[in-house]
Amino acid sequence: MAMVAGAVMALPVPRAEAGDWWVRGRLIHIDPNAGSSAGGPLALPADAVDVDNRVAPEVDISYFFTRNVALELILTYPQKHDVTLNGVDIGSVKHLPPTLTLQYHFMPDQAFKPYVGAGFNYTLFTDRDLLNDTLEVERDSFGGALQAGFDYALTKNWYLNVDVKYLWIGTDVRRKSDGAVVTKLDIDPWVYGLGVGYRF
């Protein structure tokens, strides 16, 4: 047992340094914390509109300004979500939410490196038509982002990554005939990620 512990402790630890680039690939589970407003021309009740979950790949690129402070750009491809109204399918939307966060990394010299981050996302909606093309969602959204996670050293340059984000994503759903707002839809997903990273 002592030999195993010694071998683990002897593994080279990837130390974060100013000027480092880190690239991570994650598999993410997008879990919308969806809600919608009441009223409007269709007199909808609150939270009548819902958005389903999604599993997708994600890539992020981090640049370290110091050993502790990094800027991370989070990217994926447009994600398709089915949309329901009072439990009935009314179509789907696609959205692309690139996210930028400023992170603080604790314990840069240790194998276990937790971090927290905060920033913003810009979400571009495509395939926006709903309810047999009678409704559509707004084209884009700006919102905040919070993040927490950790990296764990596997080798000198490779490491395991676990990450959780919360994104504020909101849009208006409008009637196409006259542009009247039917409801304000908040998607606001939790995003759970598991992946690996490489340090350059």
For residue range 41-51, list pLDDT tens digits in order: 989 999 999 99
pTM higher than the cut 0.75: yes
C-alpha to C-alpha distance for 40 and 89, rounded to whole angstroms: 20
Residue 149 lies in a domain: yes
Cα-trace Rg, the chain:
20
CATH code of 162's domain: 2.40.160.20
What is the structure's pLDDT at 12? 56
Total domains, the chain: 1
Strands 49-51 and 54-64: unpaired
Residue 5 lies in a domain: no
What pLDDT, in 10s, does the model give residues 181-199? 999 999 999 999 999 999 9
Residue 12 lies in a domain: no
Residue 4 lies in a domain: no
Residue 94 lies in a domain: yes
Q: Which of 11, 78, 80, 86 is nearest to 42 (CA)?
A: 86
Q: Which of 167, 51, 34 is nearest to 99 (CA)?
A: 167
What pLDDT, in 10s, does the model give residues 74-83? 998 888 999 9
Calculate the average pLDDT of the chain. Answer: 91
In angstroms, the Cα distances linking 103 to 18, 21, 153 are 13, 14, 18
Average pLDDT (65-72) is 97
Residue 13 lies in a domain: no
Beta bridge pairs of residue 189: 32
The range of the structural domain enclosing residue 195 comes to 19-199
